[in-house]
Every structure is written in structure tokens, then in C-alpha cells.
Amino acid sequence: MRRLYPTMQNPLRLSPRLQTAALAVRSGSVAADVGTDHGYLACALVQMGRCGKVYASDINHGPLEQAVKTIRQYGLENRVFPVLSDGVKALPLDEISDVVIAGMGGDLIVSILQDARLYCPEKRLVLQPMTKPEVLRRGLCQAGFELLSETAVADGRFVYSVLTAAYTGRARQAGDLFSYTGLLLGQTGTEAVSYLRRVAGRLGKQRDGLLQTRRPDPVEIAKLETLINQIKGEIPDGKGYGTAALDG
């Protein structure tokens, strides 16, 4: 993946999943990196020239102290601002246009998105769930957000999804197929196909587990069979046989 850093000494090098999330942030935006950990993504957004100002927030003092060290190491004290915050609660969301939440479980991300200040069509969400992406997609739909884009990215042994979303106010129930595959269904890139294959494989293991119970639920098993076949029917033959696995 091409990196877009301006000329400077010792630019940060992000992991593939964080790099993909960074490239989903709109150029010229004021961004927030929620759950910033060491602050790498927040600092990289400035280094890349994507943002002139970024808030780096974390719920815990320890990670935020590490982020402060990273900010100072790269001389970005006037561009990246650390904030101790539970989710987005302490962030000035009226000033922030793009909110990045990466590296958390899908269920935790959904709970953070309950803040009504995010219910604004002008704001862009960039989300990278480590686990339970189906819970995140379902929660976004129920809360009135629309998925704008979705990118599969291989990182180590795993394949993750990076989603962008915006609020429309049109709440709806997401079907099982959309919940598990989102906008990746129908994509033909190697990483998207690999992601879909592993979703089908995980659902297959879930089905097999039900078959081994003392009283298998035929309705649930049939539901899983249908879902697996729908996903497999959209996967091009001969692609996505890499060693990466879907986390969660």
C-alpha cells in the first residue's frame, strides 16, 4: 500500500489496518482518534498531511501517557492533543468532523456511538472492529447510520474490515447477510474474498457445533446453512486462499 507521508525525518509507520483507517479520514478534517493507545494513528494523520489537528483520546491514564510521549517525540504538541475520555464523552465533538475508532470490539464501538452528538450527517465515522464486526454493522443500521465504504485489509494472520459511516437518521434492521458481510459482499479483491471465505468458515463451525449438541435446533441450523450458501455464492472461485484468518 502506498504511503502518503510528507518529507520528514523518522515518519511513523502504521500497521496495515491503521494505515487503511488513516487513509479513510477526510483530508483537511479535524479528527479524533478514540482509544488512541500509543497515539500512533493520531500523529500519523498529521504527518501525512491529512489533518492539521487531531485529538488523541483514551479512557486509561497509562496509554494516554504513552501517547503524550509519542506526540513529544515527533514534535506535534501543537497539532495532536491528548484527552482523557471514556469513549467520546470528553471530546469537543462540535469541532471534530472525523471520528476514528480502531482496535476495539464491535460491541464496544456500538456503545460508544450512542452519544447523540455523533448523530450529525456532516460527521464521518471511521471504524475498525477487531471482533464482532456483525454486531457493529447491525448496530450502525439500528442507530440510523449508513455505511459509506468498507475495505478488507490483511494484517499479519488476520483480515479486518475498515468501515466508514455517516448519520442519516434512517434507522433500519440489518439482515443477517448484510450484518456478516456488509459492503464487502460482491467485492473481488483478494483481501475481501479472503475475509468472506473466513466469515463463511466461522459460520460453518458454528453450524457444526449446533449439529453436535444433544438437541440441535433445525431452524437455526437451516438459517446458518442459508447464510453460508449465500456468502459462498458471491465468492469468486480460486481467490482468497491465503493463510490470513478472520479475528472474531
Quote the pLDDT of residue 165: 98
Same domain, yes or no, for 142 and 248?
A: no
Is the residue at 5 inside a domain?
Answer: no
Domain range spanning residue 188?
Answer: 175-248
C-alpha cell at 155: 494484517
Q: Is residue 108 one of the residues assigned to a domain? A: yes
Instruction: Kindly report which listed range (33-42, 162-171, 174-183, 227-236) carries the lowest average pLDDT score.
Output: 227-236
The CATH number of residue 30's host domain is: 3.40.50.150
Is the residue at 212 inside a domain?
Answer: yes
The pLDDT score that the predictor gives to residue 10 is: 73
Q: Name the pTM for this structure.
A: 0.90
Give yes or no: residues 187 and 246 share one domain: yes
CB 83 within 8 A of CB 54: no
- Around Cβ 24, how many Cβ atoms within 10 Å? 23
Q: Reading across the β-sheet that carries 158-167, which strands appear in turn? A: 80-84, 51-58, 29-34, 98-105, 124-131, 158-167, 145-155
Mean pLDDT of the chain: 91
123 shares its domain with 182: no
Q: Where is the domain boundary, 172, 199, 217?
A: 172
**Is residue 25 a contact partner of residue 39, using CB atoms and an 8 Å limit?**
no
Of 116, 146, 172, the domain-final residue: 172
| The residue to which cell 487531531 is assigned | 54
Average pLDDT over residues 210-238: 89
Total count of domains within the chain: 2
Same domain, 197 and 155: no
Say if CB 134 and CB 247 are below 8 A apart.
Answer: no
In whole angstroms, give the CA distance from residue 26 to residue 125. Answer: 10
- 21-76 residue pLDDT tens: 999 999 999 999 999 999 999 999 999 999 999 999 999 999 999 999 999 999 99
Q: What is the mean pLDDT of residues 161-166?
A: 98
Q: What is the pLDDT of residue 9?
A: 57
- Binned at pLDDT 50, 70 and 90, residue 125 comes out as very high
Tell me whether residue 8 is in a domain.
Answer: no
Asked if residue 112 and residue 234 are part of one domain, the reply reads no
Residue 118 binned pLDDT confidence (cut-offs 50, 70, 90): very high
* Residue 138 buriedness (CB in 10 A; 0-12 / 13-18 / 19+): buried
Which letter does DSSP use for residue 236 in this model?
Answer: P
The better pLDDT of the pair 54, 244 is held by: 54
Q: Are residues 23 and 128 in the same domain?
A: yes
Q: Are residues 109 and 185 in the same domain?
A: no
In the predicted model, what is the mean pLDDT of residues 230-241?
72
Other Cβ atoms less than 10 A from the Cβ of 55: the count is: 25
In this prediction, residue 138 carries a pLDDT of 98
Distance (Å) of CA 115 to CA 49, 87, 111, 120, 143 = 29, 9, 8, 11, 11
pLDDT at 224 > cutoff 70: yes
pLDDT of residue 247: 46
Asked if residue 154 and residue 86 are part of one domain, the reply reads yes
* H or E segment to which residue 125 belongs: strand 124-131
Residue 50 resides in a domain: yes
Which three-class secondary structure state does DSSP give residue 174? coil
Count CB neighbours of 94 within 10 A: 7
Q: What is the arithmetic mean of pLDDT over 240-248?
A: 40
25 shares its domain with 105: yes
Asked whether residue 239 carries a pLDDT value surpassing 60, the answer given is no
The strand pair at 124-131 and 145-155 is best described as unpaired
The reported pLDDT for the residue numbered 11 is 81
For the stretch 63-116, pLDDT in tens is 999 999 999 999 999 999 999 999 999 999 999 999 999 999 999 999 999 999
User: What distance in Å separates the CA atoms of residue 218 and residue 214, rounded to the nearest whole number?
Assistant: 12
Overall average pLDDT of the 156-162 stretch: 97
147 plus 65 within the same structural domain = yes
Whether residue 11 lies inside any domain: the answer is no
Same-domain check for residues 149 and 83: yes
Q: How far apart are CA 33 and CA 106, in angstroms?
A: 16
Based on the domain organization, do 23 and 39 belong to the same domain? yes
